A and B are shown apart, each in its own frame.
Chain A
Amino acid sequence: MSATKKGVATLNLHSYSGFFWDAVNNIIRNRLMSVATIITLIAGLFLCGLSAALTVNIFSITDTLASDFKLDIYIDQACTDEQTTAIGEQIKTIENVESITFVSKEQTLEETKARYSDTQIFEGIDDSDIFRDSYKVTLVSLEFSKQVTDAISQIQGVAKITDVNDEMNKFMEVSRKAQIIIIIISIILGMLSVLIITNTINMSIFARKKQINIMKYVGATDGYIRRPFIVEGLLMGIIAALFSFGGLYFLYNSFIEAAGTIGTNFGILNLRDTMIYVGSTVGIFGMILGIIGSIIAIKSHLKV
């Protein structure tokens, strides 16, 4: 047999089942370190999954808000009923206004009481003067929001205009900040996870250093020797991904149920679709972190 790659038969899959059980045995043998590694990974992947859930929901909620091209026009409380009606007529004539709906202050009081009926905030309050009459103005398209807002603000008697853009911008700003914080923590935990996996695999390699040397003398390639340790890292990544996915599933399910009791979901994505994104994210990152940690660990141990 010559000293080249020629003559080597194709890879045997039965070796992989051997590597899998080797990896399982190693994880059990170093159980303390393995548990520490998996817990750290779970924390990192949990935040990673949370970030994914937040991102997809931001898009979903943004879409919902943007498709609801409404402005809320609040009428000065000093205006009479006739003046309020006249304001409505003026708004109808503005270009790019599709339709308007009048919401009286009495109606607003009733709706608010109904929304917060499980609390005592509005108990005993019957005076609708704490609210204003308003018009809900539907636009032809969100892009005309500024033009219509500017036109309406010229009308005398208009106290306040709430632009859905304002709400959306506020929401986006808060979400962006939350996202950035979660991503930073995820990255830190991710790096910590890689460090801990490296350490765990190092211990595993150290315990098998003699074995690795023997394998090298008998003619095992670096790739052959690396395989069981990579499988070990991968397995820990997958275990952590499963646990973090379970936690996120439970959390999001509870969140959905809570949002449902408020009476509206604001465009929150359903459980199934969200979990597809979350599951893919934690699964992929779990495997990547596991593999990276193993590769870093074994690199320095293969020189014989």
Chain B
Amino acid sequence: MIKFDNVTKTYENNGAAATYALNCVSLEVQKGEFVFVVGRSGAGKSTLSKLMIGEIKPTSGNLYVNGTCVNALKRRQIPYFRRTVGMVFQDFRLLENKTVFENVAFAMDIIGATRKQIRRKVPEVLSRVGLANKSKRYPHQLSGGEQQRVAIARALVNNPGLIIADEPTGNLDVQMSQEIINMLDEINRGGTTVLVVTHDLDMVNQMKKRVIEIEDGSIVRDEERSGNFESSFL
């Protein structure tokens, strides 16, 4: 599902030595896996997720998502690629002037779904995230956890094979964080590959999933978890 093949990403520093955001990173995530990517701020986690959605290109190496070489995509192909990946962000990124229903429906509208298809699918997805009775509310009328659930519904509505969640619980309290992670776990059990970028170690330890740790742009640890995860950045 995801394959990083010797990927390096550097940023120029106005004549000084380049900064290595990622340095010769190779990893593979199989279909149906649930993976945490952890590391301190500036370790390279965000660079990883930005590369995966084609927001930036690697300086060298190749990156494959669901068989597509992302770094080889032309600019006009990127929107079509992004429709195959569901993105969930720390700040939810909902459209403030649209209702819950419209926020989710929007993801179907851009791919040209008919009104009939939208009317059938959106309520189904909203039920799955427990927001069927709040479809007419606006984002500012929802709690943080509910807003994130709308974002998850939007990420799910086009049946992507992969969900990338970048700090999905960053703005939430413990209880809401738990709800969100449980939801992502349930989605994963349905067959969707889930990759969660986070620095919430409590959540990581609780879930006992595969953990990839990044430090200074390199992978320092990649293991299946069955016990407690301790990290150098704690």
Chain A interface (Cβ within 8 Å of chain B)? 1-5, 7-12, 14-15, 211, 213-222, 224, 304
Q: A211-B95, A214-B94, A214-B95 are in contact. Are A12 and B112 (CB under 8 A)?
A: yes
User: Which of B55, B87, B111 has the largest number of chain A CB atoms within 10 A?
Assistant: B111
Within the complex, what minimum Cβ distance (angstroms) separates A273 from chain B?
45
* Among A3, A8, A217, A304, contact of B111 (Cβ-Cβ < 8 Å): A8
Instruction: Enumerate chain B residues within 8 angstroms of A9, measured Cβ to Cβ.
Output: 111-114
Query: How many Å lie between the Cα of A5 and that of B83 in the bound state?
Result: 11
Residue of A nearest to B155 (CB): A218
B82 in contact with A218 (CB, 8 Å):
yes
Query: How many Å lie between the Cα of A2 and that of B81 in the bound state?
Result: 7
Query: How many Å lie between the Cα of A216 and that of B75 in the bound state?
Result: 12
A221 in contact with B94 (CB, 8 Å):
no
Q: Is B109 an interface residue (CB 8 A)?
A: yes
B81 in contact with A214 (CB, 8 Å):
no
Q: A218-B87, A219-B82 are in contact. Are A14 and B115 (CB under 8 A)?
A: yes
Q: Is the interface of B mostly helix, strand, loop or mixed?
A: loop
Within the complex, what minimum Cβ distance (angstroms) separates A24 from chain B?
14
Instruction: Enumerate chain B residues within 8 angstroms of A214, measured Cβ to Cβ.
Output: 93-95
Q: Is the interface of A mostly helix, strand, loop or mixed?
A: loop
* Among B76, B97, B107, B113, contact of A219 (Cβ-Cβ < 8 Å): B107
A224 in contact with B77 (CB, 8 Å):
no
Instruction: Enumerate chain A residues within 8 angstroms of B111, measured Cβ to Cβ.
Output: 7-9, 219
B115 in contact with A3 (CB, 8 Å):
no
Interface residues on B, range: 20 to 34
Within the complex, what minimum Cβ distance (angstroms) separates B31 from chain A?
15
Query: How many Å lie between the Cα of A214 and that of B94 in the bound state?
Result: 7
Instruction: Enumerate chain B residues within 8 angstroms of A215, measured Cβ to Cβ.
Output: 106, 110
Q: A3-B80, A217-B93, A221-B79 are in contact. Are A304 and B55 (CB under 8 A)?
A: yes
Q: Is B18 an interface residue (CB 8 A)?
A: no
Within the complex, what minimum Cβ distance (angstroms) separates B98 from chain A?
9
Instruction: Enumerate chain A residues within 8 angstroms of B55, measured Cβ to Cβ.
Output: 304
Within the complex, what minimum Cβ distance (angstroms) separates B11 from chain A?
17
Q: Is B68 an interface residue (CB 8 A)?
A: yes
Within the complex, what minimum Cβ distance (angstroms) separates A123 from chain B?
73
Query: How many Å lie between the Cα of A220 and that of B111 in the bound state?
Result: 8
Instruction: Enumerate chain A residues within 8 angstroms of B94, measured Cβ to Cβ.
Output: 214
Query: How many Å lie between the Cα of A5 and that of B114 in the bound state?
Result: 17
Name 17 interchain pairs, CB-CB below 8 A, sorted by A. Answer: A2-B67, A2-B68, A2-B84, A3-B73, A3-B77, A8-B80, A8-B111, A9-B112, A9-B113, A14-B115, A211-B97, A218-B82, A218-B83, A218-B87, A219-B81, A219-B82, A222-B79
Instruction: Enumerate chain A residues within 8 angstroms of B109, measured Cβ to Cβ.
Output: 12, 15
Q: Is B8 an interface residue (CB 8 A)?
A: no
B110 in contact with A12 (CB, 8 Å):
no
Residue of B nearest to A18 (CB): B109
A218 in contact with B110 (CB, 8 Å):
yes
Query: How many Å lie between the Cα of A275 and that of B187 in the bound state?
Result: 64
Query: How many Å lie between the Cα of A7 and that of B160 in the bound state?
Result: 14
Instruction: Enumerate chain B residues within 8 angstroms of A4, measured Cβ to Cβ.
Output: 77, 80
A216 in contact with B114 (CB, 8 Å):
no
Within the complex, what minimum Cβ distance (angstroms) separates B55 from chain A?
7
B79 in contact with A216 (CB, 8 Å):
yes
* Among B73, B76, B87, B159, contact of A217 (Cβ-Cβ < 8 Å): B87
Query: How many Å lie between the Cα of A145 and that of B120 in the bound state?
Result: 81
